Amino acid sequence: MTLADETTLFARLRAACLDEWIAYTDHAFVRALGKGKLPEACFQRYLGQDYLFLIHFARAYGLAAFKGEGLDDIRLAAAGLDAMINVEMGLHVKFCAGWGLSEAEMAALPEANETLAYTRFVLERGLAGDLLDLHVALAPCILGYAEIGETLAARHAGELDSNRYREWIEMYASTEYRDVAKAEAAYLDRLMARRGGEGRFDSLLVTFRQATRLEAAFWDMGLKR
């Protein structure tokens, strides 16, 4: 997969925790979703918690704006925050409405421990560390979903018409989303050049591996329902 081009920081982090990465991107939840066999209650459980997740992800972009070292960093973070609040969440709410979930219902859901663990971990990394630590904590989500979308779209090409989760798969397999993921991978490389070097790899890997595990735990949570 091109996003995992071997020369990028992302590709190196991914390769260095491949077991955890596969446990996340090829999770039973993901495979069932690709085959259209995921129980709807599981998907709804996931969608509702993902709504709560996005609120904290928006906060992470706000934090990135604060931590920006110059106008370019701030602009990128502001664009990410705006996209999250005014595009992603709108799409999500619309999409969820099609699955019988209103925004008011989702906002009132109790937060699952898996949602809480992942989102607070990301925010805390961003505050204890620097902008690179923050973006490495965000990367498994942003880049993993692109890989999942691409993989499922390729694996189930020709069968998607009959898959009730088709729209979700196509969203993350889209060129638009892929461009977001590529931009994130490129930004990680720029931050790595500016904010460090090899000396940081080990500690960034600890963060990346943990965030990847927490993504897998998020799918577990979906299956529990």
Catalytic positions, please? 141, 215
Instruction: Write down the least CB distance from residue 160 to a copy of itself, Å.
Output: 32
Residue 47 interacting with a copy of itself (CB under 8 A):
no
C-beta of 109 vs 160, nearer to a copy of itself: 109
Helix, strand, coil percent content, the chain, rounded in steps of 5 = 85, 0, 15
Instruction: Write down the least CB distance from residue 25 to a copy of itself, Å.
Output: 19
Residue 106 interacting with a copy of itself (CB under 8 A):
no
Piece of 5-13, 41-49, 126-134, 176-184 that binds a copy of itself (CB under 8 A): 126-134
Grouping H, G, I as helix, E, B as strand and the rest as coil, residue 62 is helix
With CB under 8 A, what is the number of residues at the site for a copy of itself? 52
Inter-residue contact 184 to 131 (CB < 8 Å) = no
Question: Which position among 6, 19, 176, 198 is part of the footprint of a copy of itself (CB under 8 A)?
Answer: 198
Question: Which position among 23, 28, 109, 117 is part of the footprint of a copy of itself (CB under 8 A)?
Answer: 117
Question: Which position among 3, 8, 32, 114 is part of the footprint of a copy of itself (CB under 8 A)?
Answer: 114
Residue that is written with structure tokens 């990135």 in the block? 64
d(CA 21, CA 50): 20
- What the block records as the tokens of 102 is 């209103």
Residue 19 interacting with a copy of itself (CB under 8 A):
no
Three-state SS across 123-190? Answer: HHHHHHCCHHHHHHHHHHHHHHHHHHHHHHHHHCCCCHHHCCCHHHHHHHHCHHHHHHHHHHHHHHHH
Indicate the residue type of 213.
R
Residue 129 interacting with a copy of itself (CB under 8 A):
yes
Instruction: Write down the least CB distance from residue 91 to a copy of itself, Å.
Output: 15
Residue 196 interacting with a copy of itself (CB under 8 A):
yes
Tell which positions 200-219 bind a copy of itself, by CB under 8 A. Answer: 200, 203, 210, 214, 217
d(CA 174, CA 89): 17
d(CA 63, CA 127): 8
Residue 63 interacting with a copy of itself (CB under 8 A):
yes
- What the block records as the tokens of 135 is 């973006």
Residue 81 interacting with a copy of itself (CB under 8 A):
yes
**Helix axes 131-155 and 113-128, enclosed angle (nearest 10):** 140
- Would you tell me which residues interact with a copy of itself (CB under 8 A)? 55, 58-71, 74-75, 77-78, 81-82, 85-86, 89, 107, 111, 113-114, 116-117, 120-121, 123-124, 127-130, 133, 192-200, 203, 210, 214, 217
